[in-house]
A and B are shown apart, each in its own frame.
Chain A
């Protein structure tokens, strides 16, 4: 069983095609290798930065260090120092080192999902630049091991929020009331409507205020009238022809009358003295007693007359003087 010799079909430009494929392959392979090396930062001059942390949990070699969200370096090496702290060596390309200063802060942030990341913060870019080989602390922040506790707290918090946002929640009702009130405030009677509860009540209040205004106008008129009356009263009482003038005259009259009374009383004293003298010699005097007694009766009538006049005068004054007092002069 002879097999026919296999003749390869004539291939056009076989060498060219294969050469092209091979050179393409070599080119791509070398390109990939160089791209990989370039991506690894092999052609990039770097400076080292040492970070110290109490705990390297979540830090891994190759982890990026970001500044404002941009990667500016990566963790090259991790080691334990003599005092048990973690030494993390970070390589930072020279051209990115300008974002870091001697007092830049580095924090390690861990999420629930995904790898941790080191973030750099520079507060003031005018500070001294970071030197090569500097050592700075890495702030690890809060320990996320008690996530369960946090979760529980968040759950409680969420429950509260749910309770607060329910349709019948007190805060919702309060907000409803506030809404009603502000709605009324936006109405015809404004804030008054909001406070009073309904437009009708607000209208009444407005009416009352209007009435009070009218009343105040009236009171103003009255007070003006009273002022006029007072002026008149002043004239009448203290004027040249007023009550006081009359009173003064009346008092003068009373004084005169009292002087008369005093004179009468002096006369009575004299009579009484003569009666005393007379009583010593009763016998002698008995004859005169009758005469004296007649004189006494006459005196009495005179005194009574004077007193009556005074009383009358006082009554007259009382009629004119408003501050009346029960004044009466009585003869004993």
Chain B
């Protein structure tokens, strides 16, 4: 009887220890991510951190993250926007509330879907690449080697990636949002310019100062998340080659989680 009790207690304490360790590890991971975010932001806001080399890396990042996918992503966003606008407009017409079609489609697309889709697109394409690259650099001790050679890895390698990611997300969001506005106008009013005052009035109703600030803050948060989380995750990779895929996997899941959290927070802020 007593042995049974002991074994139960042992199992329980073991369980608790395991959970506690996992929770601490998780906490440490997030702590690492936040620390890296703070370091990157501080570095990015320090003018002395920028030199020609940094600028070159930033430009390359923007080129790889935004320019290369600009055309296909814009086409995809246009198609998605057009289909969604058509759905909203025809549904609104069916329930007799055409007046709200434009406002509804703008709220859905420009305020929510397009920033999120942009962030997800960049996450799938660039964040996974960054995470893999940093994890491999860490596994191969390249980061330590560079540090020993006197290179500030944060300033030369990671901070430019963060800036490039943020700028890319903002640029893609801006381009697709404006495209969605144009498409919405065409879908609702057709190929003519006389309804512009009407359109402007609805836009005025949708985009007040708080909403505009909200979109840019949200896009900024998305841009930071898609670069900071993979870099931090890569830096936290144990120095074992088989940990590289696991690092990327964790990084991606965390990134997705953070993106959704930002989205839900922005929704709650706007509508609750």
Contacts and interface: CB of A to CB of B under 8 A. Distances in A.
Contacts, number: 82
B171 interface: yes
Secondary structure type dominating chain A contacts: helix
A25 B201 contact: no
Contacts of B170: 25, 29
Interface stretch (A9-17, A155-163, A309-317): A9-17
Interface string B37-74: 00000000000000000000001101100110010000
A332 interface: no
Interface in A1-56: 1-3, 8, 11, 14-15, 17-18, 21-22, 24-25, 28-29, 31-33, 35-36, 38-41
Contact of A36 (B142, B178, B201, B203): B203
A18 B60 CA distance: 8
A116 to B, nearest CB: 13
B148 interface: no
Interface in B165-179: 167, 170-171, 174-175, 177-178
A284 interface: no
Nearest to A11: B63
B207 A36 contact: yes
Nearest to B219: A29
B3 interface: no
B212 A33 contact: yes
B203 A14 contact: no
Contact of B60 (A8, A28, A36): A8
B208 interface: yes
Interface in B91-107: 95-97, 99-100
Contact of B174 (A11, A32, A113): A32
A84 interface: no
B136 interface: yes
Interface string B173-202: 011011000000000000000000000110
Contacts of B63: 11, 14, 17-18
B73 to A, nearest CB: 12
Nearest to B61: A18
B174 A114 contact: no
Secondary structure type dominating chain B contacts: helix
A234 B137 CA distance: 156
B270 interface: no
A239 B64 CA distance: 147
Contacts of A64: 201, 205
Interface of B: 59-60, 62-63, 66-67, 70, 95-97, 99-100, 136-137, 140, 142, 167, 170-171, 174-175, 177-178, 200-201, 203-205, 207-209, 212, 216
Interface of A: 1-3, 8, 11, 14-15, 17-18, 21-22, 24-25, 28-29, 31-33, 35-36, 38-41, 62, 64, 71, 113-114
